Structure 1
Amino acid sequence: MEIFERILQGAIEAGASDVHLKIGAPVIFRIAGELVPVDAPPPAAEWMQTVLGQIVPAHLRARLDAEHEVDFAYTPPGGGRFRVNVFQQRGGYVLALRLVKTAVRTFAQLHLPETLRRIAESESGIVLITGATGSGKSTTLAAMIDHINSTARKHIITLEDPIEFLFEDKQSVIEQREVGLDTASFDSGLKNVLRQDPDILVIGEMRDAASVVAAMSAANIGHLVISTLHTVDAAKSVQRILEFFPANEREQARQQFATALRAVVCQRLVRTQAAEQRPALEILTNNAAVTKIIHTGALDKLPSAIELGGGEGMQTFNMALHALASAGHITQAEALANSPSPESLKMRFQGVTLNETRRILGARE
């Protein structure tokens, strides 16, 4: 285990976000988004089994044997905290470890817009934080929880698999429940959570129709529900939520979700000119126009609604990327490389603004 602990300590010191350990292959760190091989002995099969025997929690060992993959959190003796995924490939186990920052960063430290503070202070509704793996969803979610904890007297209950950031009570009372350890399953935890008198429910990830139904039920009786989803933009986030339901239930789910939704925050990380990473956010907040679009199923109109909702704090990815480039934080090339519609962004840089239906909204003289 000594080598394993030294690898993790080296990752912390190098500022790595991830560590990849595969039998017979070089040890890999992900640093500033790039995969970097490091000077360490390639893991052997026997060594990997020893490590797994030490770090896999007792309650997950049977699942690992049966399903060949598990998630959990691990805190090395030397400090730090990692979210661990163990999985099997070509008959051998692989470890993917993500470093969880022990200090929860604020909105300002993360360069998140003011709109997120207002969303976090909502009394009720569903807030979805979405993006690809590694886009910083968990970090943004933690910042929202910490803001609430620091500014309001609320009862916050989380359901996580596994627990990542650890919170101490400040103004709020927080209980963090880990699936498999503190509750048997997400379903079990969700069935009982409203009996525990929460003001705010944090669901680590929307996984199925049951979690969405629980979230909508909680939101519709006055609770704030915050969760994450693996989707790339606001429209696809709404579409993905509805796809959890069978076809004969989808229409009813659409009507309920249109009312329950508070906001969708979709995030991706871009590289700054200082070789750091900074979030670019698409933000959708629910208003009468958005509710109507979801009610009618015209989800292709959501990007235009976001563009027109700039005065309410909404923004498309192109609006966010344009602002970052105009402020000199990122290059135009980086903005275009991360844009979902580079042609429209290029025209925006030239002073011509198009909405998603290709109608000119404004042009610089």
Structure 2
Amino acid sequence: MVAGTAVRRRPEQGFTPGDAVEDHLEEAAKRHPERKQEGCSEQVAQDVKQSMAPPSPPADAHPLIIDAYLQILLEQSASDLILTAGAPPTMRKDGALVPIAPDPLRPDQIEQMAKEVSSPERWARFQAQGDLDFSLNWKGLARFRINTFKQRGSVGMALRLIPYQIPNFDQLGVPAVVRGLTRLAQGLILVTGPTGSGKSSTLAAMVNDIVAVRPCHVITIEDPIEYVYRHQRGIVEQREVGADVPSFADALRAALRQTPDVLLVGEMRDLETISAAITIAETGHLVLATLHTNDTTQAVDRMVDVFPGDQQQQVR
């Protein structure tokens, strides 16, 4: 089992929240020349100022506002963006929370931004469920994993940056022994760690290493799809829970009919998924998966604990 690790960068100095948003207005307007004929520059400036103003009567948020926030996230090498009513838009950089605008957001502004990055189908699913996970390709620069949720009757959002470039083992600082694990033909490899510790990045590096050197068939089951792989010596197929298949368990049941050599399970959450992953690993396949635990000992205990008491000794 491999504990996840995260890439850390040194914080940059001289970041000023208000100036950062203003600096991106002109550039954002240039990316939407069609709006210039509509008096865009004045409207954009007005809308962004409204987004940083104290609560006032509802007004539509402009799509360039969230673009400016995401651009700041990239430039500051931050990992997350948090949007919640009554608080300023805030990024997570090197583990610390840093506001990127001085004033709080209104509920209607966050709801409008959530609609702008969601398809009509996803928005309908969010309205029905109250929680939604999906990924977003943003301007060919990066992908974001987005969680939209409801809190105190209003919409909130948490966005995590997923670079297009899949990190390699050296960039992640992963021990050399991990490369040897990717050469295994069968078995179960767990990448464990708390939220934000680098589990997804470590799994992505492992899959990318496998398809670079082995002529094999890889199937990933993710919620949502984060890193996008390209076919190399190996072929990679990526299935997203909720979009391509109803659940992890359903995807695993179908997987053996798709002749995989390697399976990636984004997260093992329940008895059915864990049981299926173990069975697939025992039948001659290599399974890579993550668990939200602090260490490998807890990972084994958590896997065993999901089974009924009369089966736990056998699982061990």
Partner residue in 1 for 2:262? 200
| 1:223 and 2:223 are equivalent in the alignment | no
Partner residue in 2 for 1:233? 295
Q: SS where residue 228 of structure 1 aligns?
A: strand
Q: SS where residue 182 of structure 1 aligns?
A: coil
Partner residue in 1 for 2:89? 27
- For residues 172 and 43 of structure 1, the distance between their equivalents in structure 2, rounded to whole angstroms, comes to 46
Amino acid at match of 1:149: V
Please list the CA deviations of residues 69-115 of structure 1 after superposition, one character each: whole Å capped at 9, or x if unmatched. Answer: 11110122363111111122211111111100210111112111111
Please list the CA deviations of residues 123-152 of structure 1 after superposition, one character each: whole Å capped at 9, or x if unmatched. Answer: 111000010000010010000001101111
Gaps in structure 2 of 5+ consecutive residues: 1-62
- Given candidates 21, 37, 61, the residue that maps to 2:99 is 37
Partner residue in 1 for 2:156? 94
Partner residue in 2 for 1:244? 306
- For residues 104 and 76 of structure 1, the distance between their equivalents in structure 2, rounded to whole angstroms, comes to 16
- For residues 104 and 49 of structure 1, the distance between their equivalents in structure 2, rounded to whole angstroms, comes to 31
- For residues 127 and 118 of structure 2, the distance between their equivalents in structure 1, rounded to whole angstroms, comes to 11
Partner residue in 2 for 1:185? 247
Q: SS where residue 108 of structure 1 aligns?
A: helix
- For residues 307 and 290 of structure 2, the distance between their equivalents in structure 1, rounded to whole angstroms, comes to 18
Q: Conserved in 1, the CA contact under 8 Å of 2:69 and 2:100?
A: no
| 1:213 and 2:275 are equivalent in the alignment | yes
| 1:11 and 2:73 are equivalent in the alignment | yes
- For residues 171 and 112 of structure 1, the distance between their equivalents in structure 2, rounded to whole angstroms, comes to 23
Taking the TM superposition and a 5 Å limit, the aligned residue runs for 1:1-365 are 1-39=63-101, 42-77=104-139, 79-254=141-316
Amino acid at match of 2:297: A
Q: Conserved in 2, the CA contact under 8 Å of 1:160 and 1:177?
A: yes
For the aligned residue pairs, the C-alpha RMSD in angstroms reads: 1.4
Displacement of 1:21 in angstroms is 0.6
Gaps in structure 1 of 5+ consecutive residues: 255-365
- For residues 196 and 116 of structure 1, the distance between their equivalents in structure 2, rounded to whole angstroms, comes to 27
Q: Conserved in 2, the CA contact under 8 Å of 1:71 and 1:83?
A: yes
> Aligned residues, how many?
254
Q: Conserved in 1, the CA contact under 8 Å of 2:249 and 2:276?
A: no
TM-score of the superposition, structure 1-length normalised?
A: 0.67
- For residues 206 and 57 of structure 1, the distance between their equivalents in structure 2, rounded to whole angstroms, comes to 27
TM-score of the superposition, structure 2-length normalised?
A: 0.77
Displacement of 1:187 in angstroms is 2.1
Q: SS where residue 226 of structure 2 aligns?
A: coil
Amino acid at match of 1:15: S
Displacement of 1:46 in angstroms is 1.6
Distance change (3 Å), C-alpha of 1:58 and 1:248:
farther
Q: Percent identity?
A: 41
Displacement of 1:221 in angstroms is 1.1
Displacement of 1:180 in angstroms is 1.2
- For residues 183 and 198 of structure 2, the distance between their equivalents in structure 1, rounded to whole angstroms, comes to 20
Displacement of 1:42 in angstroms is 3.0
- For residues 140 and 88 of structure 2, the distance between their equivalents in structure 1, rounded to whole angstroms, comes to 23
Displacement of 1:59 in angstroms is 3.9
- For residues 259 and 121 of structure 2, the distance between their equivalents in structure 1, rounded to whole angstroms, comes to 28
Distance change (3 Å), C-alpha of 1:57 and 1:186:
farther
Displacement of 1:45 in angstroms is 1.7
Displacement of 1:68 in angstroms is 1.4
Displacement of 1:165 in angstroms is 0.2
Please list the CA deviations of residues 223-249 of structure 1 after superposition, one character each: whole Å capped at 9, or x if unmatched. Answer: 000000000011110000011112233
Q: SS where residue 174 of structure 2 aligns?
A: coil
Distance change (3 Å), C-alpha of 1:42 and 1:80:
farther
Q: SS where residue 278 of structure 2 aligns?
A: helix
Q: SS where residue 105 of structure 2 aligns?
A: coil
